[in-house]
Amino acid sequence: MSEPEVNPLSSSLLDGWSRFVASPGTPFMIPGHKQRAGLLWPELGAVNTGDVPLFGGLATLKDAAGLLAAAEARTATRWGADWCRYSTGGSTHANQVLTLSVGAAGDEVLVARNAHRSTLSGLLLAGLTPRWLTPEVTDGLITGLSVATLEQAIARHPRARAVFLVEPSYVGTLSDREALIATAHAAGLTVVIDQAWGAHLGFHEDLPAHGIALGADAVIFSAHKTLPAYSQASLVLARTERLDAGRLERAFDLSATTSPAGSILASADAAVALLDSPLGHDRLSVLLASVEQARERLRGAGLSVAGPDTHRMDPTKLVVRLPHGGQLLEQRLIAAGLAPEQADETTVIPIVTLADRPEDLERFTDVVLEHLADSPLPRSAPESTGSAEPAASHALPTARMTPRDAFFADTETVSAVQALGRVSAEVIAPYPPGVPVLVPGEEITQATVDLLQAAAAAGVRIAYAADPTLATFQVVRA
C-alpha cells in the first residue's frame, strides 16, 4: 500500500505548519488574529493557537496551491485513486462535491435511503432527482443494501446516472460492496460511496477493503471521524474513468471556502500519512485487538454486541445493544467522563479510533459492566418492536415534489395533525438507523407520523427535524 519513495511519517503540509508556527513573523494577512490574539484576551489567543492559513501560512501565497496539490496527489496514490482533494468542510462538503460531479440538473440518481443529510443537500444543489434504495434493517441495525434492491431500482429507473451508497453505515455494517459495484457498473452507473465512517478501511489486513480498492468511482471520508485529524478534515477521492477530473475540480472549488485552514489540511495530510505507515498499522492492530477484547467481555456479561462474526462489518466498531436502558447507561458513562458518541434506549456506540489506548477501552467496558451489575437488565438482544426498525421497513412515502422544489417552495410550520396530507419541507430520520422516514417533497401520512412518534416514544433520537418532539412539522405552504 505504501509508496516506497514516501517517508511513511512525513507530511509536507505538517512541515509547512511547523515552520510557520515556529516563526510567524508579523503577517499583514488574514487571519485577523495574527497569532497574537492572546495579547488582547488570553483565552481567545489559546483558542486560536495553531490556526495557520493555507495561503501565506503553510507556504507563500505563490507556492501554497502547488504544495497542497502535491500532497493530495500523493494521497490519491495511497488509495489507488486518480484524483484527491482535502476539504476543510467535512464530509458534508465532500458529498456535495460528488453530487455536483455525476450528472446534470434533472438527472435521476439511485440513493441509499440511509444517505446523510449532506447528500440530500447535494442532490438539492445539483438538482438531481433521487430514486431511493432501502437498506435491510434487522433489530434496528442496518445490515446493508441487497443486490436485488439495486437491480430492481435499475430496472425501474434505466436512465439513472449514478448510485450513492453509504458504506459502512453509522453502525459499521457493510453491504456486499463488490457485488453492488459490479451490478451498477454493468448498468453504466457511476458508483459513489460515502465512507465517512471508514477512513481507516483497507489499511490493515484484518480490515475490510476501502471502496476505491473494490472499484468504486469515488469515495469520501471524514478524516476527523476515525483518524487523528482536526475537526472538519475530510477527503474526496475519485477515479476518472466515469467521472471527469475537470468537473470534480470545478465542483470542489465552487462549494469550498476560499480561505482554507492550513491547520486542518496539515492534520488531514499527517493523519493519512500516519495511517499509511508502520506506526499506523501497529495502532490499527492494537485497536482491533482492544475492540475485540471489549466485545468479548461485554458479551461474556450477556450483552448483545454486533461484531464481524455476527454481521459483515468494520471490526473496529463497537455497537452495544440493550433491551432498554441505553440512556441510563449513557448517563453513567458521561458521569465517568466517557461520553459515547451515540446512545438511545437500545444502542450505545462509543467511537473508538487508533488514538484510543487499550486502557481507555478497558475503562469504558468496566463502567458498562459496573452499571449492569448495579442495574441488572434482561440482557437479551433488543426486540425489534420499539427499535427504529419500522423506519426502514415501512413503504416509502409518495414523493409529490423533488427535494429541490420543496426546498425553494414557501414553507410553514404546522401541528402534527395539520401536517397530514401535506408535503414535507424537511428531512426526518430516527437515528440509528438514520434512514429518513421523510425527505423534502414527500407526503406526510398518518402512518409516517405514527411511526415517527413510536420511535420517539421508544427513546430513539429524531434527527434533523426542526422540532424533534414531533409536535410540529415544516411543510410546503399550500
Ligand X SMILES: Cc1ncc(COP(=O)(O)O)c(C=O)c1O
Cell 484484518 maps to which residue?
206
Q: CB-based contacts of 148: which residues, under 8 Å, 6+ apart?
A: none
Residues facing residue 131 across a β-bridge: 110
Residue 336: exposed, middle, or buried by beta-carbon count in 10 A (0-12, 13-18, 19+)? middle
CA separation for the pair 406, 329 (Å, rounded): 39
Site for ligand X in 137-166 (CB under 6 A): 166
Binding mask 18-57 for ligand X (x = CB under 6 A): ----------------------------------------
Cis peptide before 432 (omega within 30 of 0): yes
Which residue among 88, 91, 183, 347 contacts ligand X (CB under 6 A)?
91
Q: Are strands 304-306 and 342-343 parallel, antiparallel or unpaired?
A: unpaired
Q: Which residue is nearest to ligand X (CB)?
A: 90
Q: Are strands 108-112 and 129-133 parallel, antiparallel or unpaired?
A: parallel
340 belongs to the binding site for ligand X (CB under 6 A)? no
Q: Which is nearer to ligand X, 173 or 290 (CB)?
A: 173
387 belongs to the binding site for ligand X (CB under 6 A)? no
Site for ligand X in 183-212 (CB under 6 A): 194, 196
Q: Is residue 434 helix, strand or coil?
A: coil
Contact 51, 44 (CB under 8 A): no
CA 470 → CA 226, 275, 294, 432, 476, distances in Å?
Answer: 32, 42, 37, 17, 16
Q: Which is nearer to ligand X, 90 or 390 (CB)?
A: 90
Q: Nearest Cα to 414, choosing from 471, 469, 473?
A: 473
222 belongs to the binding site for ligand X (CB under 6 A)? yes
Q: How far is the CB of 317 from ligand X (least distance, A)?
A: 13
Q: How far is the CB of 56 from ligand X (least distance, A)?
A: 26
Half-sphere exposure of 396 (CA within 13 A, CB side): 18
Q: Output the nine-digit C-alpha cell for 201.
A: 478501511
Stretch that binds ligand X, among 38-46, 84-92, 102-110, 465-473 (CB under 6 A): 84-92
92 belongs to the binding site for ligand X (CB under 6 A)? yes
Binding mask 95-134 for ligand X (x = CB under 6 A): x--------------------x-x----------------
Q: Which is nearer to ligand X, 77 or 121 (CB)?
A: 121
267 belongs to the binding site for ligand X (CB under 6 A)? no
Q: How far is the CB of 400 from ligand X (least distance, A)?
A: 26
90 belongs to the binding site for ligand X (CB under 6 A)? yes
Judged by the rule CB under 6 A, the positions of this chain that interact with ligand X are 90-92, 95, 116, 118, 166, 170, 194, 196, 222, 234
